[in-house]
């Protein structure tokens, strides 16, 4: 894929998703918000994936962002959606920064398991917290948009959609920039041979730490957006099945481009919704079958379809 095409896609990206928001039917708006929110988490996972790291505990940061949205307005008079999302993202980023000191020392299965362990500790704490509703969770207060509280619920939804679109677009731009930078390009190098990276004069640990923080921050933003959209937070957002879903969507999307996680996330949500409608007792089977099909026939994820159609080459993995 040519860099020109990629940057074109990014430039037109925001107007396209915003325009979609105006024309989408009511039911699709919510699906759109959730897809964008989860897409943010997957974007972070993509970053780690390119470095050869898989986190089975990304639900930790997703849930941390969500719980921030739930708890913060109870103590501070903040109801602005964008502000809440930013604060939650920063908080999740700090959490990732703190845990990063330990996480950055591990690779492969040990990294994955340590992430899982941290997320399950957080899950355990939440389940034990009766004041936070234990496993039932609690409702999130109504949010405002730049001082404006829409009367009509559907206007509210569309405002949130716009917020999510703007946040996701900035995240994509940032990650795209980062991947083009020296530190970003180190991802592949760390994956291939960490020792050589060290000989080049870079600290692989520091690079990994930075990626953990970016991924955590974006997951926090995603969790915050999801919490506002759903209007409810509970520990299931932190549970390993949620973390597994993010990894699932990463595989489904492919890691070829920063747009891929968002697209993959949309496809996943639509797929699941219709699977539930048509096979209420076997929808997991349908979703699992699709993952299997993607792994077997599209090892580069759904993105490789777009890549191939653009350039007509039969290579599943993008170089960058």
Partner 1 sequence: MSIKNLLRGTSVAACLVAGAMTAISGAAQAQEKLKVGVVGFYTGAAAGPFGIPARNAAELMVEAINAGNVPAPYNTKGAGGMEIEAVYIDESGGTTKQVTEYRNMVQRQGVDAVIGYISSGSCLAVAPVAEELKTFTILFDCGTPRIFEDADYQYVFRTSAHATMDSVGAARYIATKFGDTKTYQGINQNYAWGQDSWRDFDLAMQSVLPGSEAAEPLWPKIFQGQYGAEISRLSVSPPEVLHTSFWGGDLESFILQSSARSLHKRTKMLLTTGESVTQRLGRKLPDGVIIGARGPYGILAKETELSKWLSQTFADRFGTKPTFPSYHMAQAFIAMKIAYDNAAAASGGSKPSVDDVAAGLRHKTFEAFGTTIDMKLGKGQQAITPTAYGIAKWDSDTGEQTITDVVTYPAECVNPPAGVNSVDWIKGGMQGAKC
Contact positions toward partner 1, by CB under 8 A? 25-27, 30-31, 34, 127-128, 130, 133-139, 153, 226, 229-232, 234, 236-237, 239, 241-242, 267, 269-278, 280-284, 286, 290, 293-294, 296-298, 302, 305
Question: Least Å distance between CB 277 and partner 1?
Answer: 6
Question: Least Å distance between CB 160 and partner 1?
Answer: 13
Question: Least Å distance between CB 268 and partner 1?
Answer: 10
Question: Least Å distance between CB 149 and partner 1?
Answer: 14
Angle at which helices 182-192 and 204-230 pack, to 10 degrees? Answer: 110
Place of tokens 């379809």: 305
For partner 1, give the closer residue by CB, 191 or 273.
273
For partner 1, give the closer residue by CB, 23 or 130.
130
Closest CA to 88 of 216, 2, 197: 216
For partner 1, give the closer residue by CB, 113 or 279.
279
For partner 1, give the closer residue by CB, 136 or 198.
136
User: Could you tell me which residues are beta bridge partners of residue 139?
Assistant: 232
For partner 1, give the closer residue by CB, 147 or 280.
280
Instruction: Please count the other Cβ atoms lying within 10 Å of the Cβ belonging to residue 288.
Output: 13
Using DSSP's 3-state secondary structure scheme, residue 145 falls into strand
Closest CA to 140 of 74, 206, 235, 211: 74
Please check whether residue 318 is in contact with residue 257, taking contact to mean a CB–CB distance below 8 angstroms.
yes
User: Could you tell me which residues are beta bridge partners of residue 263?
Assistant: none
Angle at which helices 240-253 and 283-297 pack, to 10 degrees? Answer: 40
E strand or H helix at 232, and its extent? Answer: strand 232-233
Question: Least Å distance between CB 320 and partner 1?
Answer: 23
CA-to-CA distance for 46 and 54, rounded, in angstroms? 9
Question: Least Å distance between CB 269 and partner 1?
Answer: 7
CA-to-CA distance for 244 and 62, rounded, in angstroms? 12
Question: Least Å distance between CB 32 and partner 1?
Answer: 11
For partner 1, give the closer residue by CB, 166 or 273.
273
Place of tokens 């996701």: 168
For partner 1, give the closer residue by CB, 13 or 254.
254
């Amino acid at each position: 894929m040519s860099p020109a095409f990629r940057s074109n896609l990014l430039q037109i990206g925001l107007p396209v998703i915003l325009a979609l928001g105006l024309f989408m039917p009511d039911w699709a708006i919510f699906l759109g918000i959730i897809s964008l929110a989860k897409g943010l988490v997957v974007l972070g996972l993509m970053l780690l994936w390119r470095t050869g790291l898989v986190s089975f505990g990304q639900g930790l940061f997703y849930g941390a962002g969500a719980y921030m949205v739930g708890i913060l307005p109870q103590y501070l008079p903040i109801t602005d959606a964008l502000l809440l999302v930013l604060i939650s993202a920063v908080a999740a980023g700090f959490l990732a920064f703190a845990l990063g000191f330990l996480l950055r020392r591990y690779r492969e299965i040990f990294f994955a398991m340590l992430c899982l362990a941290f997320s399950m500790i957080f899950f355990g704490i939440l389940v034990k917290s009766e004041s936070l509703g234990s496993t039932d969770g609690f409702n999130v207060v109504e949010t405002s948009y730049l001082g404006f509280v829409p009367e009509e619920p559907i206007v509210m939804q569309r405002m949130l959609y716009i917020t999510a679109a703007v946040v996701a677009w900035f995240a994509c731009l940032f990650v795209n920039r980062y991947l083009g930078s020296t530190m970003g390009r180190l991802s592949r190098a760390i994956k291939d041979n960490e020792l050589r990276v060290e000989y080049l004069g870079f600290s692989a640990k520091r690079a990994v730490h930075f990626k953990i923080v970016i991924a955590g921050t974006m997951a926090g933003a995603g969790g915050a957006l999801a919490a506002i959209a759903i209007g409810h937070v509970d520990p299931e957002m932190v549970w390993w099945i949620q973390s597994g879903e993010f990894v699932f969507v990463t595989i489904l999307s492919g890691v070829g481009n920063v747009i891929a996680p968002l697209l993959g996330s949309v496809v996943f949500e639509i797929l699941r919704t219709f699977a539930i409608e048509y096979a209420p007792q076997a929808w997991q089977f349908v979703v699992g079958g699709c993952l299997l099909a993607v792994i077997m026939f599209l090892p580069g994820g759904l993105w490789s379809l777009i890549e191939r159609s653009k350039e007509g080459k039969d290579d599943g993995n993008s170089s960058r």
